[in-house]
Structure 1
Amino acid sequence: RPETGDIWRVYCSGPRTLTEGNLTTIYTTPAGQVTGLSASLLDKVKVVPNPYLVRANWDVSKNYPNIHFTNLPAKCKIRIYTLAGDLVRVLDHESSYAENDGTERWDLLTTYNRRVASGIYIYQIDAPEIGTKLGKFAIIK
């Protein structure tokens, strides 16, 4: 329960943000409670670009390839697998409500620091107290 002296921070984005003089209602749920709303948050997770084309405009240079997992919850684990089910890499995402909150970059390297091959990959997002999501993306060289 909120107590005297607690500080709440609200981060807004999009065309409508909080401004002085406007009345805004904020609905909350207790920490740890899993709701349909929480589970639906994982439905918004995307991999961009998808498919990833080597030397896409997204990259800073051809030596710096990367893709992004977007709309992630504050804390989650991302597992990336080949279609054969081999684990390629595990990414631990933990945000601090910064500007890029909800985004994790992957450098297209395996756990052993090798570049991945062209193909279709499966990702699994495990978010504590929210749920799990499976998805796929393609890398085209």
Structure 2
Amino acid sequence: MNAYKFFLEFHSGFRYIVVLLVLAAIFTAFAGLLGKKPYTEGNRKLNLFALISAHTQLLIGIVLYFLSPFVRFGGGVMKDPDARYWTVEHLAMMIFAIVLITIGHSKSKKASLPSEKHRVIALFYLLAFITVVVAILQSHRPFFGMSH
């Protein structure tokens, strides 16, 4: 197994951890907001682990980007739809999603009321998740083993 194949499999498999943590953070944030629950240390840790997993996935993706046969630093990427998707569109949308998660986490740390902490996490993490789903659907590949 070469380095590209290793990082491709690692990146592909690690996405499940990221998605599960982000979804768990979204669901607990909505539950906390709608149930008027306190913002607990468990909430903080879950949100932090979701943030860390997303950033880790980005780092794995960056390594994969430079190992990828799609990356051609001499041009021609924009003419090839597959190469353009993986080198420009996928990267941009995933970075945008991670920025949303980072902003949400930062704003939740600064908020003083538990309801505000839950609201910010629910909003920003949900927007990030939607961005990731749209990016995956744009790839025209199966989504978590399901065709679309």
Structure having the higher helix fraction is: 2
Give the TM-score of the pair, scaled to structure 2: 0.30
The structure with the largest strand share of the pair is 1
Q: TM-score, normalised by structure 1?
A: 0.31
